[in-house]
């Protein structure tokens, strides 16, 4: 180990024993890193450089190792993989070529290319750490000779995550394993199965206790017997309330009178049919056994109404009133019992 590294480690140990010296230790490590920082080697046949970014990290904090060498144009460069294990953890390697300029720290432009390499790195040790240079080899174009070399050492300052004398650090106390919550400890499969079984028993008991509905006896609705006489008289009263003759609507009034009389004979005689013409209706009335006076009277009324409805014959309020009275008398006469059967 270099003497500077040993002195820094001694300073780290002393700082850990004396509270409040952590700031001085870190400053000392930074000064040592600057003193030992690598630079481009001008004495060698080819320039080279190596370093890390950042130059000071905490324990296990990731960084990037980078380096380059100047080689003739067209030379084939091969970088050797870094050694694994120990306190160093290397990541995947990236490499490439770029021209050398004054930006690489050279006083003049080097007549060649820069072969560069970058590797992620983590260091798991504290203090001033020396990172070994990465090995390489390349073959020139002049004589085909194989050249081998290694990048320079890289000093690195690694500080602990929490200083040994840091009294402000708050560490959580150790805790034992936590018990699972109650809903994870309940055997839900048994609970659900038991509830389903109880529900099934309850439903079965209710089904067995259910009484079959007793069908209610069917009661036939009372048949209402039609009274043709009452219906005819009611229609005549309703027609009179309309007051059609008073408004000069004699044709409509004659139509309703004929309709009432036809429906009455259809319900009482059983011979007339809906749609009978006036001659057909008169013939049916003669076959029904009506008296000659009634048949003659009905014939006069029916033909008079046809003239008013279809031939637009004139009429009057007195004639309309007499027609209503004639229909009412015919209905009442047929509704009255024969004289021999009177009580």
Residue 12 has pLDDT above 50, yes or no: no
- Distance between terminal CA atoms of the chain? 155
Q: Distance between CA 36 and CA 88 in Å, rounded?
A: 20
pLDDT of residue 2: 37
Maximum CA pair distance of the chain?
Answer: 166
Condensed to tens digits (0 to 9), the pLDDT of residues 126-168 reads 888 889 999 998 776 666 678 788 999 999 888 887 655 666 6
The conformation of residue 145, written as its DSSP 8-state character, comes to -
CA distances from 39 to 28, 43, 49, 115, 152 (A): 20, 12, 6, 16, 8
120 within some domain: yes
Residue 175 in any domain: the answer is: no
- Has residue 211 been placed in a domain? no
**Is pLDDT of 202 > 90?**
yes
Total number of domains in the chain:
2
User: Cα separation of 88 and 124, whole Å?
Assistant: 7
CA gap 131, 158 in Å, rounded: 12
CA–CA dist 45, 133 (Å, integer): 17
Instruction: Kindly state whether residue 207 falls inside one of the protein's structural domains.
Output: no
From 159, 174, 198, give the residue that closes a domain: 159
- pTM (predicted TM-score): 0.37
Please indicate, yes or no, if residue 272 is contained in any of the structural domains: yes
Q: Tell me if 251 sits within 8 A of 304, measured CB to CB.
A: no
How far is residue 136's CA from residue 120's CA, in Å, rounded to a whole number?
18
* pLDDT above 90: residue 198: yes
Q: Is residue 1 part of a domain?
A: no
Q: Where are the beta strands (DSSP E) in the chain?
A: 48-53, 56-58, 63-71, 76-79, 88-90, 94-99, 113-123, 127-131, 135-139, 146-150, 154-159
- The residue-averaged pLDDT of 326-343 equals 68
Task: Tell me: pLDDT of 313 over 90.
Answer: no
In this predicted structure, what is the pLDDT of residue 43? 35
| Section 62-90 average pLDDT | 86
Q: In this structure, what CATH number is given to the domain that contains residue 140?
A: 2.60.40
What is the reported pLDDT for 50? 93
> What is the overall mean pLDDT for the chain?
76
**Residue at which a domain ends, from 132, 159, 186:** 159
Model confidence over 26-69: pLDDT tens digits?
A: 444 444 444 444 433 333 467 888 999 988 888 889 999 999 98
| 8, pLDDT greater than 70 | no
User: What is d(CA 178, CA 196) in angstroms, rounded to the nearest whole number?
Assistant: 33
Residue 244 shares a structural domain with residue 132: no
What average pLDDT does range 183-201 have in this prediction? Answer: 92
71 within some domain: yes
Q: What is the pLDDT of residue 261?
A: 83
Give the helix ranges, DSSP H, for 210-277. Answer: 228-242, 250-268
Looking at per-residue confidence, does 79 or 290 come out higher? 79
Confidence of residue 223 (pLDDT cuts 50, 70, 90): low
117 vs 141, higher pLDDT = 117
Residues of the domain holding 324? 228-338
In this structure, what are the phi and psi dihedrals at residue 166, rounded to the nearest 5 degrees?
A: -85, 100
Question: Given a cut of 90, is residue 318 above it in pLDDT?
Answer: no
């Amino acid at each position: 180990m270099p003497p500077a590294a040993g002195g820094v480690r001694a300073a780290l140990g002393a700082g850990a024993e004396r509270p409040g010296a952590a700031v001085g230790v870190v400053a000392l490590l930074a000064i040592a890193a600057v003193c030992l920082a690598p630079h481009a080697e001008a004495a060698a046949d080819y320039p080279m450089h190596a370093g890390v970014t950042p130059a000071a990290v905490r324990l296990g904090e990731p960084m990037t190792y980078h380096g380059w060498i100047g080689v003739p144009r067209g030379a084939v460069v091969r970088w050797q993989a870094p050694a694994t294990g120990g306190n160093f953890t290397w990541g995947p390697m990236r490499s490439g070529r770029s021209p050398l300029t004054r930006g690489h720290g050279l006083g003049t432009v080097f007549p060649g290319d820069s072969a560069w390499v970058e590797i992620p790195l983590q260091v798991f040790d504290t203090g001033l750490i020396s990172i070994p240079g990465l090995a390489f080899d390349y073959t020139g174009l002049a004589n085909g000779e194989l050249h081998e070399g290694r990048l320079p050492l890289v000093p690195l300052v690694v500080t602990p995550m929490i200083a040994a004398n840091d009294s402000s650090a708050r560490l959580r106390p150790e805790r034992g394993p936590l018990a699972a919550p109650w809903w994870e400890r309940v055997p839900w499969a048994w609970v659900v199965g038991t509830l389903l079984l109880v529900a099934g028993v309850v439903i079965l008991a209710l089904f067995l206790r259910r009484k079959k509905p007793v069908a209610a006896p069917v009661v036939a609705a009372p048949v209402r017997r039609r009274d043709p006489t009452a219906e005819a008289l009611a229609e005549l009263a309703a027609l009179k309330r309309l007051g059609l003759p008073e408004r000069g609507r004699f044709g409509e009034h004659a139509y309703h009178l004929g309709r009432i009389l036809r429906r009455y004979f259809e319900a009482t005689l059983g011979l007339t049919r809906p749609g009978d013409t006036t001659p057909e209706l008169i013939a049916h009335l003669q076959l029904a056994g009506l008296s000659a006076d009634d048949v003659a009277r009905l014939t006069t009324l029916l033909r008079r109404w046809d003239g008013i409805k279809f031939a637009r014959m004139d009429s009057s309020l007195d004639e309309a009133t007499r027609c209503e009275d004639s229909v009412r008398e015919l209905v009442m006469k047929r509704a009255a019992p024969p004289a021999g059967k009177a009580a």
